[in-house]
Structure 1
């Protein structure tokens, strides 16, 4: 997730943004792999042994090497979508740990967990303070570049059915301010948790819907599988829109349909 800077603050706040990395620094073979997956090669960012694409989606070498196995890929439509891989072994409790972050991030995590657990899913979350967690939320410090500042990023579930293991949250004061809003931070964490359990952006077919610019993110080998029962038109309130509204955003009715269908 990211926030756009211009005259004041833009209403478009992306799920991730440019870090100032020069795309030319990304090896050509990596760009070719990203393109083959169906993701945009614009503004690819090198980070932590992998690559951030489409704003807040982290791809590692395994993701880039995977071939698509689903017969249900859809492109350029407007329903809600999941990835090929989902969390398995349900019912299941996913443990979450917040590592070396301030109270707003801890409270935001608790808020996001509360919102998921209130849905009565076979997948629930529990924050722990010691031991080994399924998902670790940790910080990075990065200022704005190119008109945007990254708020958070995450990846997708593994092939063996585990959630993605890391959510990165920006601790730079221009990301959430000197006194971060718990509901704002919690909404970003809620979104990134959605990626960790297999949700793609609701408007992946056209990022301009929530971001003001951009296009189709592509089905990719990661997968963009339609979730039955979700709308066939743009869904302005979804928690998985590519760009944030800059404040509190939780599940709408269609999001709940999608969550209950999968979990």
Structure 2
């Protein structure tokens, strides 16, 4: 997840963009670890954008906040994605299985705002009474670990958080990284904003794609970009409207404020996990 940052000497203008994505047309920087043509082809075949792919110690960061491992890229794409109206809900190749189940979450070495934000995100999911529930723990081995990293603005953007997708074994992605840099959330982070980012990253961990993946201009502005479905198909979720789906918790970009589930988000989650 990213927000747009415009540093000028010692100050930052607050033009927020919901992380998870980078606006189309943003300046592309030279990558210290070039991504091979083979890897880019695998990313594209899986239905992800190949713009601004970053190689990391854990794999490849795509679409601003999604971590794909080398093993995930090698797996055969077999599952469809899900559409909601003109702005679609998408699922990934694999979902969380062995339901019903409780996914434990542990916050490691982060401040009180991140702990409270985690509790906020967990409460929002659990109120939906899905067959996947979340519980924050303070000891033992968790299913998902939320930990920090410190990375400043780059190219007019700053990454707020990142996560990945469920594995082929049916387990959620196990790590959410939240940026502790001063330009990410400031010196006094807003709990609802932090909670919204964590809520979004948990969505990726259980298999949700960006809602406006087929047209990122809907939330990010700029030119309309249709990435295609990556050859994995699309299934419409019945009972959703035909117009644009505003304020989804999985939209690629936002105004940087509090954002939770809208009506169609609830439909999509119930379709998958109720």
TM-score clears 0.5:
yes
Match for residue 251 of structure 1?
261
Secondary structure, counterpart of 1:32 in structure 2: helix
Query: Counterparts of 1:105 and 1:227 in 2: how far apart (Å)?
Result: 33
Match for residue 132 of structure 2?
123
Match for residue 152 of structure 2?
143
The alignment status of 1:66 with 2:71, answered yes or no, reads: no
Match for residue 13 of structure 2?
8
Query: Counterparts of 1:223 and 1:98 in 2: how far apart (Å)?
Result: 36
Query: Counterparts of 1:137 and 1:95 in 2: how far apart (Å)?
Result: 11
Query: Counterparts of 1:155 and 1:5 in 2: how far apart (Å)?
Result: 24
The alignment status of 1:241 with 2:251, answered yes or no, reads: yes
Match for residue 226 of structure 2?
216
Query: Counterparts of 1:63 and 1:136 in 2: how far apart (Å)?
Result: 20
Q: Describe how 1:225-236 pairs up with structure 2 within 5 A.
A: 225-236=235-246
Secondary structure, counterpart of 1:81 in structure 2: coil
Unaligned runs of 5+ in 1: none
- Inter-CA distance 199–141: structure 2 relative to 1 (3 Å threshold): same
Q: Describe how 1:78-97 pairs up with structure 2 within 5 A.
A: 78-97=87-106
Contact 2:42 2:73 in 1 (8 A): yes
Higher mean alpha-carbon deviation, 3-12 vs 128-137, is at 3-12
Query: Counterparts of 2:206 and 2:97 in 1: how far apart (Å)?
Result: 10
1:101 pairs, out of 93, 110, 121, with 110
Query: Counterparts of 2:102 and 2:80 in 1: how far apart (Å)?
Result: 29
- Inter-CA distance 122–97: structure 2 relative to 1 (3 Å threshold): same
Secondary structure, counterpart of 2:118 in structure 1: helix
The size of the alignment, in residue pairs, is 262
Unaligned runs of 5+ in 2: 7-11
TM-score, scaled relative to structure 2? 0.87
Superimposed CA distance per residue, residues 189-209 of structure 1 (whole angstroms, 9 cap, x where no aligned partner): 000001111111110111111
Superimposed CA distance per residue, residues 138-195 of structure 1 (whole angstroms, 9 cap, x where no aligned partner): 1111001011000011111111111111111111010001111100000000000011
Query: Counterparts of 1:25 and 1:77 in 2: how far apart (Å)?
Result: 35
- Inter-CA distance 178–60: structure 2 relative to 1 (3 Å threshold): same
Match for residue 9 of structure 2?
none
Query: Counterparts of 2:232 and 2:174 in 1: how far apart (Å)?
Result: 16
Match for residue 262 of structure 1?
272
TM-score, scaled relative to structure 1? 0.91
- Aligned-pair CA distance for 1:14: 2.7
- Inter-CA distance 58–92: structure 2 relative to 1 (3 Å threshold): same
Contact 2:79 2:232 in 1 (8 A): no
Higher mean alpha-carbon deviation, 209-218 vs 159-168, is at 209-218
Query: Counterparts of 2:79 and 2:66 in 1: how far apart (Å)?
Result: 20
- Inter-CA distance 54–222: structure 2 relative to 1 (3 Å threshold): farther
2:177 pairs, out of 168, 172, 180, with 168
Secondary structure, counterpart of 1:82 in structure 2: coil
- Aligned-pair CA distance for 1:54: 1.0
- Aligned-pair CA distance for 1:15: 1.6
